[in-house]
Amino acid sequence: MTPLHEFLLNYCYTRDPRCDVPCQGSPAPLPPSPARPPRLTPPGSRPRRQLSPREPGEKDADGSSEVIINSRAHRGGGAGGGRRGEIKGGGGGVGRREPPSRSPAGSMAPAALPLLPVLLLPPLLLVLGQPVLGAPGQGAGTWSRFARLPYPQDQLFLHDTFPDGFLWGAGSAAYQTEGGWRQGGKGASVWDTFAHRPATPPGSVPPGPAGGDVASDSYNNLFRDVEGLRRLGVSHYRFSLAWARLLPNGTTPLNPAGLAHYRRLLGRLRELGVEPVVTLYHWDLPQGLQDAFGGWASPVLPQLFRDYAELCFRHFGGQVRYWLTMDNPYVVAWHGYGTGRLPPGVQGGPRLGYRAAHHLLQAHAKVWHLYNDHFRPTQRGKVSIALSSHWIKPQRMTEKDIKECQKSLDFVLGWFAKPIFIDGDYPESMRSNLSSLLPEFSEVEKKYIKGTADFFALSFGATLSFQLLDSHMKFQQLESISLRQLLYWISSEYDNPQIFIVENSWFVSGSTKRDDAKYIYYLKKFIMETLKAIRYDGVNVFGYTVWSLLDGFEWHRGYSIRRGLFYVDFQSHDKKLMPKSSVLFYQKLIEKNGFPPLPENQPIEGILPCGFAWGIVDNYIQVDTTPAQFLDSNVYVWDVHQTKKLIKVDGVLTAKRKRHCVDFAAVRLQISLLQEMHVTHFHFSLKWSLILPLGNLSLINHTLVHYYQCFASELLRVNITPVVALWQPMAENQELPVSLAKCGAWENPETVQAFVEYAKFCFTSLGDHVKFWITMNEPSVKNLTYTAGHNLLKAHAKAWHLYDKEFRRSQKGKISIALQADWVEPACPFSRNDQEVADRILEFDIGWLAEPIFGNGDYPQVMRAWLHRRNSVDLYNFHLPYFSEDEKKLIQGSFDFFALSHYTTTLVGWEKEDALKYDHYLEVQMINDITWLHSPSRAAVVPWGLRKLLKWVKSKYGDVPVYVMANGIDDGQNMVYDKLRVYYIQNYINEALKAYTLDNVNLQGYFVYSFNDKTAPKYGLYSYTANQYEPKPSMKHYREIIDKNGFPGPETPELLCQEEIASCPECHFFRTRKSLLAFISFVFVAFIVTIFFITYYSKRVERRYK
């Protein structure tokens, strides 16, 4: 295996390790039908191994429904806002265990207890409901069944393989790819005529798109296409016969050139051991039949189709085991003869559309009986019809809306599936709603049509979904792309048939060339959902066909989109096939027969080091400086006779007493909640704009400063280390004093000196209580100009040197900057272009502020080179300032640790796929992996991104101490989403443990964002309702991890940390009150001495009198 393939393998199967253990207890695959023909195994291929979005909410400009997440969206909004960070440091709790060394501390054995729900998922899903079998309408239970499945376990990526012998293939259609429309005696089809219509005047029906005259030119490049199949390693190839190439007029005489062409194709497939799956009719009806009889609107067509099928069975049947009579009769009938959107373009309305469908069903049945009666005994093949469907979900989970969803599927899929697979007649919902519009089947016809399919051939994807589905057939419900739920519905509705997915994929823009990341992630989603349908739901799927083998003419979309695995340059003469990234993805997936679990996907056991900082973050602590009643010097009397109220006595005052921290009730409440969490560190930010309202020392809010002093001292009293940020950008004025904000904010160099003065004041006022400082917390690079960033770096460096020179020796603290650092992953990791884009984004997002501090004292070279290139081609100038040599020395090394806030991971690519999600400045396309879990705000849950980020920091900046300052996710209004936070915390911490244990990252702390919903709505570990704080399950889960110091297993050494054995949480009370302790000791000694002398002299007096 080449290094490229090894890299691809690791990427395809390890980059989304959300199901952290192999799913156990999966049901055994349903056995194939005894009549199923044997699979032809390609020479040299390996035998199959035995075993095992997000719903689209909004449509893209291209009609798809992909949602792109902006990972840099900030919590606070506005200029300078960012997700809130936190830091860790200092000692841990009593009895913390420590591994003997960092490398061997963790093992690859799964942590059993926290992942029990995942282990139990497959049997649990089976208990919740296998497909019910029998009568039509039973599929209506699908929506309620999937609404009850455990969250988020059911939505985790399933690392497993498909059943042994599963069929993997690719497909194409004759008119889309063959071309050669006038070659070899081929006759015209309705699509040829439709595409060649002349331009029409304004206001009339527009002509069809440019057609398939040449398309991919597969007619002249047969061996080219088959070579692509060989490269993929597929087991089957679905293609269609061009009716007009074999019978130019639709009936005899036979065209020898057409016959020879398909014989060559079948012969080459047989040489490679690739099973042909042949479609007799894929929309390209001979124009002669349309002209002579009116096409499928005529009752003559079923017999003519039977005659054509007989010819194909006689000439090709010895080499074909899987036949499909026709593809997607819904589109042919409804849009060919009803709406006229597609060829032959007859706008006959619903009545003609239903009549055409009636004839299509009769034609299919005739062909099935023909094969069953005359060819099956010798050819031993199978015959079915390729039915296409959408998926629909209810607006609300009400009985009425579910019935409307069931009706929608009846009107599209059930229209053809129920007559064939159930009882020979149309769905009752169609009969009751359409009355006389729907033709009638006689009893004889019903019996003739019933059972005319040997398997259920399903087409699902971009051809129908969100494209050709008539809006009236949605019945005001929501269209979706859940293949898994559709498969379950089919299994329930049609007596658990064997299902062969004969067409499935999505599409990319017509301008996309080789790196088709969007296509890959849709493919990944559909295949994963198929695997879940097999393993979790017991659906009998035995094959999968990706659409399509190569780019071609995409029907009503023309050449504006691409759906092929292989790229075709339609402007070139030879139409050479070039593999896209999706070829590598699909090739490896076939080779591994799915998504097998790998060690990288598994959680590890182990614990974190002694003194590890377990923390929680609050953007800004709740400040309530309302004076206590004990500070009121006025005297009151109680009017017990009349008003029953206190009455102030004028002119009478009592002596005022000094303020005490106990006077602040809000402090006590917050401290008690933090104690309940068992955290060792608490991170919050000061409000510069409130402490120094004028931006200088001329006006100081002493009350607020005293509040912060009390809060920090009370944290220390209960053995929680305060981690304090001097400044954190927020929406309003970037949380700067108004005078500074109005004078240019960080664009103004004077803000630098103002920040240094503010920092000095804070170090002086709070330094006795705070030993863990952050100069700036999550400055948002998204909202920074290069000049503002330049000044911000200088301000940080000056504050750091100020602390280092004037305060470190006496206060013995540490100080650094905290940067937001979401991971950026190349959408196609085997694409050099995508990797370059990812590296560039990391330097602009993180390296911009990190490299001067933790690196060489200057901005990343990638930034300077990129901006130089942009400045040479753009009309405007992006000026990245330069540091003087003295400034470089000042900034370089101004840190004690690397603090980062991490929330999610973003995929990026270089191919411009969607203009709405393309950054022209950095030339980057944001991509979404729709198999990832997403929060209610659409933030992606990607635990492995944290580990990759930590490794990246270590590789760039060495063995610097690292603190994950903030890591968290929102939960929405529904508390069920707190289960997602439980999963999030569990798996992100485990990835952090991997970074520490396996990658030797010097990880010192981890903080969860955020403390409570009052200060950070939807992100808190405590909910806040009606002035009450309630712990969420995620808080209790985090507390359990803290108490265990990670994920200890049976073999994890239980060594007590030496410094913690002697630690005493209560001792801090005395250490911080030495003067009081000395005074109490003096009083106590004086009291003892006094008692002694009193006793002594009393006895002497008694003896004297005696």
Q: What rounded mean pLDDT belongs to the chain?
A: 86
Q: Two tokens at 818?
A: 């905290």
Q: Quote the pLDDT of residue 12.
A: 41
Q: Quote the pLDDT of residue 209.
A: 53
Q: What is the pLDDT of residues 667-686, one digit of tens each?
A: 889 999 999 999 999 999 99
**3 state SS of 721:** strand
pLDDT at residue 1067 tops 90 = no
Cα–Cα nearest to 280, from 253, 243, 255, 332: 243
Contact 805, 815 (CB under 8 A): no
Contact 115, 769 (CB under 8 A): no
Q: What is the pLDDT of residues 912-940, one digit of tens each?
A: 988 889 999 899 999 999 999 999 999 99
| Distance (Å, whole) CA 441 – CA 422 | 14
Dihedral sign for Cα atoms in the order 881, 886, 888, 894: negative
| Distance (Å, whole) CA 508 – CA 493 | 33
Q: What is the pLDDT of residues 868-916, one digit of tens each?
A: 888 877 656 678 999 999 999 999 999 999 999 999 999 999 999 888 8
pLDDT at residue 464 tops 80 = yes
| Distance (Å, whole) CA 869 – CA 709 | 51
Average pLDDT over residues 563-585: 94
The beta strands (E) that lie in 755-913 are given as 772-777, 814-820, 823-826, 898-901, 905-909
Q: Two tokens at 5?
A: 């393939």
Alpha helices in 731-821 (DSSP H): 738-741, 750-766, 786-806, 808-811
Residue where the block lists tokens 């282990």: 119
pLDDT at residue 947 tops 60 = yes
Q: Two tokens at 127?
A: 């208990």
| Distance (Å, whole) CA 283 – CA 992 | 54
Parallel, antiparallel or unpaired: strands 1046-1047 and 606-607: antiparallel
Residue where the block lists tokens 């649990």: 124
Residue 344 preceded by cis peptide, ω within 30: yes
Q: What is the pLDDT of residues 969-1009, one digit of tens each?
A: 999 777 778 999 999 999 999 999 999 999 999 999 999 99
Residue 253 preceded by cis peptide, ω within 30: yes
Average pLDDT over residues 239-243: 98
Q: DSSP letters of 669-703?
A: HHHHHHHHHT-SEEEEE--HHHHSTTSSTTS--HH
pLDDT at residue 598 tops 60 = yes
Q: Two tokens at 979?
A: 């289960």
Average pLDDT over residues 628-637: 64
Q: What is the pLDDT of residues 864-874, one digit of tens each?
A: 999 988 887 76
Cα–Cα nearest to 832, from 572, 460, 581: 581
User: Can you state the percent helix, strand and coil of the chain, rounding each to 5?
Assistant: 45, 15, 40
Give the total residue count for the chain. 1106
| Distance (Å, whole) CA 648 – CA 395 | 62
| Distance (Å, whole) CA 94 – CA 678 | 11
Parallel, antiparallel or unpaired: strands 1028-1031 and 1022-1025: antiparallel
Average pLDDT over residues 5-25: 38
Residue 429 preceded by cis peptide, ω within 30: no
Parallel, antiparallel or unpaired: strands 814-820 and 898-901: parallel
Question: Within 13 A of 511's CA, how many CA atoms are on the CB side?
Answer: 7
Q: Quote the pLDDT of residue 635.
A: 72
Q: For helices 665-677 and 702-717, what crossing angle results, to 10°? A: 30
| Distance (Å, whole) CA 278 – CA 172 | 10
Using pLDDT thresholds of 50, 70 and 90, give the confidence band for residue 733.
confident
Q: Quote the pLDDT of residue 1058.
A: 63
pLDDT at residue 117 tops 50 = no
pLDDT at residue 132 tops 90 = no
Using pLDDT thresholds of 50, 70 and 90, give the confidence band for residue 1105.
low
Q: For helices 301-316 and 256-272, what crossing angle results, to 10°? A: 50
pLDDT at residue 1103 tops 70 = no
Cα–Cα nearest to 754, from 844, 669, 655, 688: 688
pLDDT at residue 504 tops 80 = yes
DSSP conformational letter for 424:
S
Contact 226, 268 (CB under 8 A): yes
Least confident range of 90-104, 585-599, 843-857: 90-104
Q: What is the pLDDT of residues 317-336, one digit of tens each?
A: 999 999 999 999 999 999 99
Torsion of CA 982, 987, 989, 993, to 10 degrees: 150
Average pLDDT over residues 151-180: 96
Contact 473, 376 (CB under 8 A): no
Average pLDDT over residues 237-247: 98
| Distance (Å, whole) CA 174 – CA 219 | 9
pLDDT at residue 769 tops 50 = yes
pLDDT at residue 849 tops 50 = yes
Q: Which of 50-54, 93-97, 209-213 reaches the highest mean pLDDT?
A: 209-213
Using pLDDT thresholds of 50, 70 and 90, give the confidence band for residue 632.
low
Using pLDDT thresholds of 50, 70 and 90, give the confidence band for residue 178.
very high
Cα–Cα nearest to 74, from 489, 619, 493: 619
Average pLDDT over residues 178-197: 95
Torsion of CA 751, 756, 757, 763, to 10 degrees: 140
Parallel, antiparallel or unpaired: strands 898-901 and 962-966: parallel
Q: Quote the pLDDT of residue 125.
A: 47
Cα–Cα nearest to 315, from 256, 240, 383: 256
pLDDT at residue 88 tops 50 = no
| Distance (Å, whole) CA 366 – CA 359 | 10
| Distance (Å, whole) CA 1077 – CA 993 | 43
Q: Quote the pLDDT of residue 631.
A: 55
Q: What is the pLDDT of residues 396-408, one digit of tens each?
A: 999 999 999 999 9
Angle of CA points 498, 499, 502, to nearest 5°: 145
Long-range contacts of 439-446 (CB under 8 A, 24+ apart): 439/354, 439/355, 439/358, 441/358, 445/362, 446/419
**Cα-atom radius of gyration of the chain, to the nearest Å?**
36
Dihedral sign for Cα atoms in the order 211, 214, 216, 222: positive
Q: Is 652 exposed, middle or buried (0-12, 13-18, 19+ CB in 10 A)?
A: exposed
Cα–Cα nearest to 190, from 294, 92, 266: 294
Dihedral sign for Cα atoms in the order 530, 534, 536, 539: positive
Angle of CA points 342, 345, 350, to nearest 5°: 90
| Distance (Å, whole) CA 479 – CA 471 | 10
Residue where the block lists tokens 């992996």: 929
Q: Quote the pLDDT of residue 940.
A: 97
Q: Quote the pLDDT of residue 1032.
A: 95
The beta strands (E) that lie in 342-490 are given as 382-388, 391-393, 456-461, 478-480
Average pLDDT over residues 551-575: 94
Average pLDDT over residues 749-756: 97
First to last CA, the chain: 111
Using pLDDT thresholds of 50, 70 and 90, give the confidence band for residue 157.
very high
SS3 sequence of 189-239: EHHHHHHCCCCCCCCCCCCCCCCCCCCCCHHHCHHHHHHHHHHHCCCEEEE
Q: What are phi and psi of 333, to 5 degrees?
A: -75, -50
Q: Two tokens at 250?
A: 């639709």
Q: Is 718 exposed, middle or buried (0-12, 13-18, 19+ CB in 10 A)?
A: middle
pLDDT at residue 64 tops 60 = no
pLDDT at residue 616 tops 50 = yes
Q: Is the whole model's pTM more than 0.85, yes or no?
A: no
Q: DSSP letters of 457-522?
A: EEEEETTIIIIIS-GGGGTT-EEE--HHHHHHHHHHHTTS--EEEEEEE--EETT--S--HHHHHH
Looking at the DSSP bridge assignments, the partners of residue 899 are 818, 963
Average pLDDT over residues 78-90: 34
pLDDT at residue 45 tops 90 = no
Which of residues 630 and 724 earns the better pLDDT score? 724
Q: What is the pLDDT of residues 538-550, one digit of tens each?
A: 999 999 999 999 9
